[in-house]
C-alpha cells in the first residue's frame, strides 16, 4: 500500500485526531453489536501504547444535520471504555470552546470521544470551516474508518487539508485484503452478490467480469436478471430501469469464460411478511400475485458446488429477505458453504456478515470487511475520497 500508516509517524506526546467508524446499532441506550468498535481497537491501542492523546470522532445513524438525542455517542463511549478497560471521556459536542478546552487539557494515554459528527450539516457537505475546526483539535490525523472512506465528508476528507494524514491499521488491512482480491486473486475466483438492487452493484459486476471465474447472483437483484432472461417473476421486486443493463451484462458474461449462475428455484410468498404463506417453485412457476423472497434449495446446492473448488471468494449481500426467518435459509446455506470452502474468503455487507456471525462461522472467514458500500466501490475500481486524501509514502 502506497499510503502512509500509523507505523510511519511518531505520536509520542501528540494529540492524534482519529476518524473511526462507530456507526453501530443501539437499543435502549446500549450497543447491540460492537463489531465495528472492536475492529478499531488495534489502532487505538497501538497509538495509546506509544504515548498519544487520542481524540476519536465518528458519525452515528442519520440525524440529518441536527441533534438527535437517540443518536448520541455516550453508549458507544461506554462500550469502548469497557473494551479498553479504561476511561473514555465522551463530549456533548464535536466543535466549540468546550471541546477545545477539553482537548487542550489532555495528557498522553487519555481518550476523548467527540459527539456525533453528523449533528452538523457541515459534515456531509465537507464544509471547510468545520473541517478546519476539527483539524485544530489534533496534530496528526488518522483515518481508520474504512466504512466511511467512500464519503468525502469533513471528518474523512476535509481534515486532511490541514493535518498530516495517515491510515490506521484497520484501514490498511481492508485496502490490502480487497486489493488482493481485485488485483491478484487465486483462481478459481468466485463472487457472490445479493441484496435488493442491481443498480448498487452494476459497477462491481462489470469490473469483475474479467478477473472472476464465476458470479453467483441471488437476492432481490436476481429478479431483475431473471426478468431480463424472460422469466415471469410476478410481484417480485424488479428494477425495471435496470433490466436492459442486466441483459447487457448477461451478454458480456457469455462472451467471456465467466460462469454467471442465477437461481433455478426460488421460495415465494403471497405477501411481504414473515407470516406469509410460502412455497418453493422453479423460476418459471412463480404464481401470479406472489413474490420471490429467497433462493430455493436446488439453487443453494448449485451455488455450494460452485464454491467447493474456489480459491478466492468474495461475498456481499443476502440471498433473500434475511430479516424474515422463513426466508433466511438461502443466505445461511451460502454462509455455510463459504465457511466450508478452503478458499481465501472475504465477506462484506451487513446481512451477509450477520449470517456469518449468527451461525458462529466468523472465525472460519479470512476477512470480514467493515465497509459494505466502501468495499463495493473499491471493487468497482472507484477511488475512495477518504483514502485518496491520505499522505503518500515517499519510498
CA distance 231 to 238: 12
Query: 358 CB contacts (<8 Å, ≥6 apart)?
Result: none
Catalytic residue among 51, 180, 350, 364: 350
**CA separation, residue 308 to residues 107, 134, 207, 343, 390 (Å):** 53, 49, 24, 8, 39
The DSSP 8-state label assigned to residue 5 in this structure reads B
Please, what's the largest Cα pairwise distance for the chain? 69
Catalytic residue among 197, 206, 259, 311: 197
Q: Which of 3, 14, 15, 36 is catalytic?
A: 36
**36 in catalytic set:** yes
Answer yes or no: are the C-beta atoms of 266 and 286 closer than 8 Å: yes
Nearest to 137 by CA among 15, 12, 9, 14: 15
Cβ-contact 170, 58 below 8 angstroms: no
Report d(CA 229, CA 330) in Å as an integer. 22
Q: Which of 51, 109, 203, 373 is catalytic?
A: 373
The C-alpha cell 418459471 sits at 284
CA distance 332 to 322: 9
Q: Is 220 a catalytic residue?
A: no
Count Cβ atoms below 10 Å from residue 283 Cβ, excluding itself: 21
3-state secondary structure of 40: helix
Q: Are 147 and 374 in contact (CB under 8 A)?
A: yes
List residues with catalytic annotation: 36, 197, 350, 373
Amino acid at each position: 500500500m502506497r499510503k502512509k500508516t500509523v507505523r510511519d509517524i511518531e505520536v509520542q506526546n501528540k494529540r492524534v485526531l482519529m476518524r473511526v467508524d462507530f456507526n453501530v446499532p443501539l437499543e435502549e441506550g446500549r450497543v447491540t453489536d460492537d463489531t465495528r468498535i472492536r475492529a478499531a481497537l488495534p489502532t487505538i491501542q497501538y497509538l495509546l501504547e506509544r504515548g498519544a492523546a487520542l481524540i476519536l470522532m465518528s458519525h452515528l445513524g442519520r440525524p440529518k444535520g441536527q441533534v438527535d438525542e437517540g443518536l448520541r455517542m455516550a453508549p458507544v463511549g461506554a462500550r469502548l471504555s469497557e473494551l479498553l478497560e479504561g476511561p473514555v471521556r465522551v463530549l456533548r459536542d464535536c466543535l466549540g470552546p468546550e471541546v477545545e478546552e477539553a482537548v487542550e487539557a489532555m495528557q498522553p494515554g487519555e481518550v476523548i470521544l467527540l459527539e456525533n459528527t453528523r449533528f452538523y450539516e457541515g459534515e456531509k457537505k465537507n464544509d471547510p470551516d468545520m473541517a478546519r475546526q476539527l483539524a485544530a483539535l489534533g496534530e496528526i490525523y488518522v483515518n481508520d474508518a474504512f466504512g466511511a472512506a467512500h464519503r468525502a465528508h469533513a471528518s474523512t476528507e476535509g481534515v486532511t487539508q490541514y493535518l498530516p494524514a495517515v491510515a490506521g491499521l484497520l484501514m490498511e488491512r481492508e485496502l490490502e485484503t480487497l486489493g488482493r482480491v481485485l488485483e491478484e486473486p487465486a483462481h478459481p475466483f468466485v463472487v457472490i452478490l445479493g441484496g435488493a438492487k442491481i443498480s448498487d452493484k452494476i459497477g462491481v459486476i462489470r469490473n469483475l467480469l474479467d478477473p472472476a471465474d464465476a458470479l453467483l447472483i441471488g437476492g432481490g437483484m436476481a429478479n431483475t436478471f431473471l426478468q431480463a432472461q424472460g422469466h415471469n417473476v410476478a410481484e417480485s421486486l424488479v428494477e425495471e430501469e435496470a433490466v436492459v443493463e442486466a441483459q447487457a451484462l448477461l451478454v458480456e458474461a457469455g462472451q467471456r469464460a465467466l460462469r454467471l449462475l442465477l437461481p433455478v428455484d426460488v421460495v415465494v410468498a403471497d405477501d411481504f411478511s414473515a407470516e406469509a404463506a410460502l412455497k418453493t417453485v422453479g423460476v418459471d412457476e412463480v404464481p401470479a400475485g406472489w413474490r420471490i423472497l429467497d433462493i430455493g434449495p436446488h439453487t443453494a446446492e448449485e451455488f455450494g458446488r460452485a464454491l467447493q473448488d474456489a480459491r478466492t471468494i468474495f461475498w456481499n449481500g443476502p440471498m433473500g429477505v434475511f430479516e424474515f426467518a422463513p426466508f433466511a435459509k438461502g443466505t445461511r446455506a451460502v454462509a455455510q458453504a463459504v465457511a466450508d470452502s478452503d478458499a481465501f474468503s472475504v465477506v462484506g455487507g451487513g446481512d451477509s456478515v450477520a449470517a456469518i456471525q449468527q451461525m458462529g462461522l466468523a472465525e472460519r472467514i479470512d476477512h470480514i470487511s467493515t465497509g459494505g458500500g466502501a468495499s463495493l466501490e473499491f471493487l468497482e475500481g472507484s477511488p475512495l475520497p477518504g483514502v485518496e486524501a491520505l499522505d503518500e509514502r515517499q519510498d
